[in-house]
Amino acid sequence: MTITDAPAATRPSSTVHDGVGSSAARPDGVPKVDGSFIYSSDEYHDGSLWGATLRSPHPRARILGIDTSQAAGLDGVRCVLTHRDVPGSKIFGMVVYDQPVLAFDEVRFQGEPVAVVAAIHPEIARRACELIVVDYEELVPNTDPEVSLTGKVEGLPSGGLVRHVRIRHGDAGAARALADVVVGGRFEMGTQDPAFLGPESGLAVPLGDGGVELYVSTQDLHRDQRQVADCLDLPLDKVRLVLSGVGGAFGGKEDLSVHIHACMLALRTGRPVRMVYSREESFFGHVHRHPAIADVELGATRDGRLTFTKVRLVLDGGAYVSTSQVVIANGCYFAAGAYNVANVEIDGFATYTNNPPCGAMRGFGAVQSCYAIESAMDRLAAALDMHPLELRARNAVGEGDILPTGQAVDGPAPVQEILAYLRDLPLPADVDRPAADMRVLPGGVGNVTRGEGIRRGVGYALGMKAIGFSGGKDDTCTARVTVWIRDGEPVAEVYCAGPEIGQGVVTLEAQVARTELGVRTVELRDKDTDIAESGASSASRQTWMTVGAIVGACQLVREEILARAAAVLGRSGGELTLDGPEIRDLDGRPLVPVAEVLGPEAVSYDFTYRHRPTEPVDPERGQGNAHVAFAYAAHRAVVDVDVELGLVRVVEMATAQDVGKAMNPAAVEGQIEGGTVQGLGLAVMEELQITGGRVRNPSFTDYLIPTMLDVPPMPMKIFEFPHPDSPYGLNGVGEPPNLSSTPAILNALRDATGLELPRAPVRPSDLIEAAPAPGAPAEDTAQSET
């Protein structure tokens, strides 16, 4: 694929080492491997206290009273705080304020924070929490989203309905009457957890002026800062946030966790306060992916052209809004998949219940809808007796097609190329089962089969998602680039608040500065709230936005240096280029060292980048040009299933994705592999099991994520069709591989077993064909849980 850059006439002429397009090494790579990297849980300050959180054991209860006297009297305890001690707003939230900093009146989910303690030792803080006496009147939790969406549930905000999204495009009813083939089905998805390894943690340091400094793991420093300041009743300039090492996020670190609590404890005690959630607490301390119920109906002509798509999508947001109203919109925007279909009717409901709160997670609603539509597409392919790839290719969206929201697809839409790669890629060889190493067979090291019961399946799925914030948000990102001379050589410093959450934006910051300025040495300043905002590391947007801001700032710096050189040389700036330590003419001849031009002065510019404007969709028909850009990926999954034991070995996950420009190919591969594996987990093992509002498996013993023995080879094709609106033609990368991975595996499992498999993740018992074993009394299934 040809890669065309943005106009580069004034960029450095010579090849830049570790510039854009190279697989430059991560600056934090070695420290993360050798253990010297400072994660937010490692933050330390002399004389710091430890904070701990008391959480509700009940999914729903009225708080009749809280007695903290015993806890406060425990030796080593420095303070115990409840909702009465919240200085400012008693509620917070990402989009709307609705979640109590500390619970009052009623707790609405199991694990809701009720009180916080600061003590000289973490164990003392935990024991103090146990001494707090909360008088609860337990209430019956509302846990059924199908009931909540009626909007008539007493005890839930808005009667239980967060938002109903409607998208109407064409006339699905009329098309249904005319369709040659109609298929339908209900597809459900359990609750996935982001399962980041680095738990919520941070360090709050009180400042002499009554302000506070918070070192914390987050996806958005400035949105956090606003909420923290509001709840502390402090002006923004008295609340300074500094990004600490983030040990994974996936959307789960967009909502606040330790932030306000640590600051309250630090301000009250006048001492620095560290807070680190335990693994179990972490499962209650962050939002999850919304569990979903999707009803899909598709109609097509006999030759496999989609004529209508109807989807009803229910996402349970749990106890508080978080981003549910946006997640349901995003789920609905892409509920008809990456297909060109003239008649679409989509109804999406986000609900309140007393289940744990759900919010942002990689894919942001589009994971659930991609799973549903791609499952239904395979049913349609079966009804038409058509190869699933052929059906997808016949209906794949292309440039100029109109989406269900009325927006025309612009920018590259190389879906045919993506599907062709998967079609032409040879299938992996069969395993020589009796001779095979058990680790390549279903069940892995469990030694459960030597080939007995194994069937192979192949499945495909295609996904499409918007990149960046949709719906009319004025989204900005600011970067500052400063150049000065050190030891005769120009050095660039890049300063931008865009959080590094593992995706590698820090690597790109340096790559872009090297490419734009030709400098060898780039220093990255700590990320904090002293500079204007970058927006969240979410929606696959941070690379696009940060690179846009740095390119803009570099351009201003470059122009200034060239203008100064032009003055020194008595030539026009347009005749000069900046190439690392030298100013050259357009033929590359050196004219004067940059050191001579700058002398002891630094050149520094801020630049605020904006993507193209978007607009909200209308509430009645969901029409509007809501999106900045679109990205596409597809997977072909090959699985081996032991149909007697219901165990799975994913044999191969082939994938193709358009990334516009692979800014750092190794990082792009990492994102695609990671997104694919997270989707694999959701297909076959990852589920937070929740019964009656209670989480049954809050541990990595029982919330299973894939190990290396569950991860197959991942042949991939990275397409680079430059995006017309973005810096370097890049596109967002992080979320698309997470969409199609899960349904591709589900479709492969369906292919292997012939079963409908209407729910993800698939459990072993879902995959066994036989009736329960002989001798199994029927009443077994009614035995109670332990």
Residues at the contact surface with other proteins, assessed by CB under 8 A: 75-76, 121, 123-124, 126-127, 278-280, 439, 442-450, 452-453, 644-647, 649, 684-685, 689, 696-697, 699, 701-702, 704, 706-710, 763-765, 768, 770, 772-776, 780-781, 783-786
* Residue 111 Cβ vs other proteins, minimum distance, rounded to whole Å: 14
Residue 691 CB neighbours (<10 A): 11
Nearest to other proteins of 118, 481 (CB atom): 118
| Residue 23 or 697 having the CB closest to other proteins | 697
Locate 554 and state its tokens: 């570099």
Task: Output the smallest distance, CB 444 to other proteins, in A.
Answer: 3
Candidates 387, 395, 294; CA nearest to 343 is 395
Which is nearer to other proteins, 2 or 783 (by Cβ)?
783
Q: How far apart are CA 719 and CA 765, in angstroms?
A: 39
Nearer to other proteins, 105 or 130 (CB): 130
- Pick the closest to residue 100 from 115, 83, 79 (CA basis): 83
- 103: tokens are 């619970």
Joined tokens for residue 560: 């200034």
Q: Are strands 343-351 and 161-169 parallel, antiparallel or unpaired?
A: antiparallel
Closest CB to other proteins among residues 119, 634: 119
Nearer to other proteins, 151 or 444 (CB): 444
Neighbouring residues of 130: CB distance < 8 A, sequence distance ≥ 6: none
Q: How far is the CB of 307 from other proteins (least distance, A)?
A: 40
SS3 138: strand
Nearer to other proteins, 608 or 689 (CB): 689
Tokens for 221, please give them.
């420093």
Minimum Å gap between C-beta 124 and other proteins is 6
C-alpha pair distances (Å), 627 with each of 277, 463, 589: 37, 16, 45
Rounded Cα distance between 329 and 471, Å, is: 9
Shortest distance, position 786 Cβ to other proteins, whole Å:
5
Per-residue burial over 26-44, b if 16 or more Cβ lie within 10 Å, else e, is: bbbeeeeeeeeeebbbbbe
Separation of alpha carbons 85 and 269, rounded Å: 13
* C-beta of 46 vs 75, nearer to other proteins: 75
Nearest distance from C-beta of residue 445 to other proteins, angstroms: 5
- Tokens at 648, concatenated: 């799975």
Closer Cβ to other proteins, 129 or 175, answer by number: 129
571: Cβ–Cβ under 8 A, 6 or more apart, which residues?
Answer: none
Could you tell me the two tokens for 15?
């090849």
- Nearest-angstrom CA–CA distance, 131 and 74: 9
Q: Which is nearer to other proteins, 59 or 698 (CB)?
A: 698
Nearer to other proteins by Cβ, of 146 and 769: the residue is: 769
Residue 162 phi/psi, 5-degree rounding, is -80, -50
What letter represents residue 699's amino acid?
Answer: S
Which of 141, 442 has the CB closer to other proteins? 442
Strands 306-316, 343-351: parallel, antiparallel or unpaired by DSSP?
Answer: parallel
Quote the least distance from Cβ 641 to other proteins, whole Å: 13
| Crossing angle of the two packed helices 366-384 and 736-753, in degrees rounded to 10 | 40
Residue 392, C-beta contacts closer than 8 angstroms, at least 6 positions apart: 339, 377, 419, 460, 462, 634
**427/445 with CB nearer other proteins:** 445
Q: Which is nearer to other proteins, 147 or 705 (CB)?
A: 705
The nearest distance, CB 638 to other proteins, in angstroms, is 15
Name which of 160 and 285 has its Cβ closer to other proteins.
285
| Residues in CB range of 44: below 8 A, 6 or more apart | 203, 274
Q: Which residues contact 171 (CB under 8 A, 6 or more apart)?
A: 343
CB of 453 to other proteins, least distance (A): 8
Task: Report the candidate in 145, 470, 180 with the shortest Cα–Cα distance to residue 294.
Answer: 145
Q: How far is the CB of 359 from other proteins (least distance, A)?
A: 24
Neighbours of 528 (CB within 10 A): 18
Cβ(99)–Cβ(330) below 8 Å: no
Beta sheet of 61-67, edge-to-edge order:
106-107, 61-67, 133-138
Residue 417 has a CB neighbour count (10 Å cut-off) of: 17
Q: Cβ 776 to other proteins, closest distance in Å?
A: 4
CB of 647 to other proteins, least distance (A): 7
Indicate the residue among 513 and 651 with the shorter CB distance to other proteins.
Answer: 651
In our burial notation (b when 16+ CB lie closer than 10 A, e otherwise), range 654-674 reads bbbbbbbbbbbeebbbbbbbb
Least distance (Å) from other proteins to the CB of residue 751?
20
| Both structure tokens of 318 | 């749990």
Pairing of strands 292-300, 161-169: unpaired
3 state DSSP class of 708? helix
CB of 100 to other proteins, least distance (A): 24
Q: In the complex with other proteins, which residue's Cβ is closer, 2 or 781?
A: 781
Q: Cβ 586 to other proteins, closest distance in Å?
A: 59
User: Shortest Cβ distance from residue 740 to other proteins (Å)?
Assistant: 22
Distance set, CA 417 to CA 129, 441, 496 (Å): 58, 32, 36
| Spatial distance between the Cα atoms of 717 and 654, rounded to a whole number of angstroms | 8
Q: In the complex, what is the shortest distance from the CB of residue 682 to other proteins, in angstroms, rounded to a whole number?
A: 13
